[in-house]
Amino acid sequence: MRVEMLEDLLLPGPNLMVRQLTTVDGNLVVDAAGCGPPGSCPRCTHPATRVHSRYRRQISELPVGGRGLIVRLHVRRFICDQIQCPRRTFVEQVAGLTESRRRSSPAVRSAMRAVAMELGGRPGQRLCAKLRLPGRRTALMSRLVAPPVPAQAPRILGIDEFAFRKGRTYGTVLVDVETSRPVDVLPHHETCSIAAWLQEHTGAEIVCRDRLMAFTKAIRQAAPGALEVADRRQLLQNLSTAVEKTCRRHRACLRRYATTEAGPPSAAPATPLLDRVRQRHRDVNELTATRHATHEAGPPGMPPCVIGTVGLTTSSPRHATGAQVYSTRSPTTCSTASGPVVRVPCSSTASCLRSATPVATTP
């Protein structure tokens, strides 16, 4: 078909006549009508000769230039003249555009099926809104249909279980190992259902199965000539289980060998970070020892009675150097060899002890 107009490029086909192109709400609307010969009855395949009525259908097509494409198609309803045919009327169909009881073209449904396969429901709906495709969540999920199951099982068949709901409901998946594509899904992982499937689909020469005993019984019942093998994961799991059992059985021997053969613990290698940590640890210990010694001995020249009644304040780092900073609430006096010593509260939060001149006492 030679392309002469834009309508021929958008809607190719000899059985369609485009009447008008308009833009409505950002969508491109094409007003067209079917102009082909009368079709045949889909029930009896007899060609029609009379027109019953006409009506308009609205078909969604793939977007063009970032705009949605809607085809308002005027179609004819024909009469089936065959008396034996139970169907009295039928509607003409435009090849590549319309199908019975469909509001979208085959190309749109194929795109929706691809989006549903990759993204699913709500994510696919958001992508369809950006691509200007008529795809809602339920419409996308309805496009997902089960693929046809081959009549014959693959040469290398893989059988494994999976969980519909972990701990409660399990099913069985059958995979073609050579192509890495799923073949069928069974709602149970019981021996009877797997054996029935293997009897209906013969041809499996090698069966790569799980460790479940139901799979072994089903293969022996339905395919006794097939070779049973385990995949890499099952082999590694069997090996780890056997090693764990052996180690648990000889735990006493391993512990005795470890205590007799073990040498002195090796020292950690010297690193700059380790040297800094050790030096800081020594500095902290020395500082702590100096503070405790100052707290116990008190400042030089302080009488023991004052040391017992005056507590050193630990809120200042000067105490570690022997600073004469103390905590007090009221001035008190005590007798020493050189005379009375008066403890006077300071204006700051800490208190200092000062030596006063001998106080003259009245006889």
Lowest mean pLDDT among 151-160, 219-228, 260-269: 260-269
Per domain, the residue ranges of the chain are 6-103, 108-142, 156-234, 288-363
Per-residue pLDDT, 301:
60
Query: CA-to-CA distance for 93 and 254, rounded, in angstroms?
Result: 81
Lowest mean pLDDT among 11-15, 27-31, 109-113, 305-309: 305-309
Give the mean pLDDT of 295-322: 51
pLDDT exceeds cutoff 70 at 79: yes
Tokens found for residue 22:
């308009």
Closest C-alpha among 289, 299, 278, 305 to residue 353: 299
Terminal CA-to-CA distance of the chain, rounded, Å?
A: 139
pLDDT exceeds cutoff 50 at 313: no
Query: CA-to-CA distance for 141 and 112, rounded, in angstroms?
Result: 9
Residue-wise pLDDT tens digits, 117-175: 888 889 999 999 999 888 888 889 888 887 788 888 999 999 999 998 888 899 999 99
How is residue 97 annotated by DSSP? T
Give CATH superfamily name and number for 156-234: Ribonuclease H-like superfamily/Ribonuclease H (3.30.420.10)
Per-residue pLDDT, 76:
92
Closest C-alpha among 75, 113, 81, 71 to residue 93: 75
Reduced 3-state DSSP string for 5-58? CHHHHHCCCCCEEEEEEEEECCEEEEEEEECCCCCECCCCCCECCEEEEEEEEE
pLDDT exceeds cutoff 60 at 317: no
CA angle 197, 203, 207 (to 5 degrees): 75
Query: CA-to-CA distance for 206 and 227, rounded, in angstroms?
Result: 5
Q: How far is CA 280 from the centre of its chain?
A: 46
Residue-wise pLDDT tens digits, 62-74: 998 888 889 999 9
Helix-helix angle 106-118:122-131, to 10 degrees: 130
Rg (CA), the chain: 47
Which segments of 170-329 does DSSP mark as H helices, in order? 191-200, 213-222, 232-249, 251-261, 272-297, 304-309
Per-residue pLDDT, 6:
56
Q: Are 91 and 80 in contact (CB under 8 A)?
A: no
Query: CA-to-CA distance for 334 and 127, rounded, in angstroms?
Result: 90
Per-residue pLDDT, 64:
86
Query: CA-to-CA distance for 129 and 123, rounded, in angstroms?
Result: 10
Per-residue pLDDT, 189:
87
Signed CA dihedral, 133, 137, 142, 143: sign only: positive
Residue 352 to residues 98, 308, 323, 356, Cα–Cα distance (Å): 102, 16, 9, 12
Q: Which residues are CB-neighbours of 34 under 8 A, at least 6 positions away?
A: 15, 16, 17, 73, 74, 75, 76, 92, 94
